[in-house]
Amino acid sequence: MMSRWLAKVGILAGLCCAASPLLAADELAQGQILVADRKLRDPHFAGSVVVLITYDDEGAVGLILNRKTETPVTKILGSVKEAEGRKDLAFEGGPVETQSILALTRSREKLNGMQHLFGDVYAILSEGPLKKTLATGVGSNLLRFYMGYAGWGPGQLDAEVDAGAWHIVKGDANAVFDPDPDSLWERLNRQSSMSLASVHDRGAQPALRSLMPSSSMPAISRP
């Protein structure tokens, strides 16, 4: 089961690169956080907060941080022994490949099989660090699982930001692992005068489409 669950995770390892510590707050890059504009009505992304997992010339991939589901983590992890007894729920990571799973964690050290995103936030990419992290009994304040992801084709996300669909916030672990994700979007919008980049609003909001090819899927299949 575990080998199937992790079968496609190596693709993410090939796509990701370490985020630069010199990023401007309003620059699109791996690890940055997107906050949907209040006027954005696309049902897939309205009211959403997204952390970018990859961003390059081939497009972008992100995970929606503020949509907790009613699906227990134990259900999506199947027979993974180290997950037994967990009480936390999985998140809806996005509308693409909803049968896939990706995990984010906070860690003081980078283990083999983890991809650094920013600060102490990592994506778990292989069986070893997954089991080791689960075995510590770490809670959802330090480890979260996402079903599916959000994807953009080349230049698509840039166009949406230019059109005012998204505000960009510098990567923040406290936002990724916020204890009250349901109110995260509203709080980030209220703080816009201090933390959100100014974006020129051209009036029309673009249609948000998930165009990332399945061959670039940065996630792993369910058991």
Task: Supply φ then ψ for residue 80, to 5 degrees.
Answer: -70, 110
Separation of alpha carbons 113 and 90, rounded Å: 21
Question: Tens digit of pLDDT for each residue in 76-87?
Answer: 998 899 999 999
In CATH, the number for domain 2-194+213-221 is 3.40.1740.10
SS3 177: coil
Q: What are phi and psi of 167, to 5 degrees?
A: -105, 145
pLDDT at 203 over 80: no
Segment 15-61, tens digit of pLDDT: 444 444 445 667 999 999 999 999 998 999 999 999 999 999 999 99
List the domain boundaries for the chain.
Answer: 2-194+213-221
Among 3-12, 78-87, 214-223, name the most confident range. 78-87
Pairing relation of β-strands 33-36 and 166-169?
antiparallel
Residues comprising the chain, all counted: 223
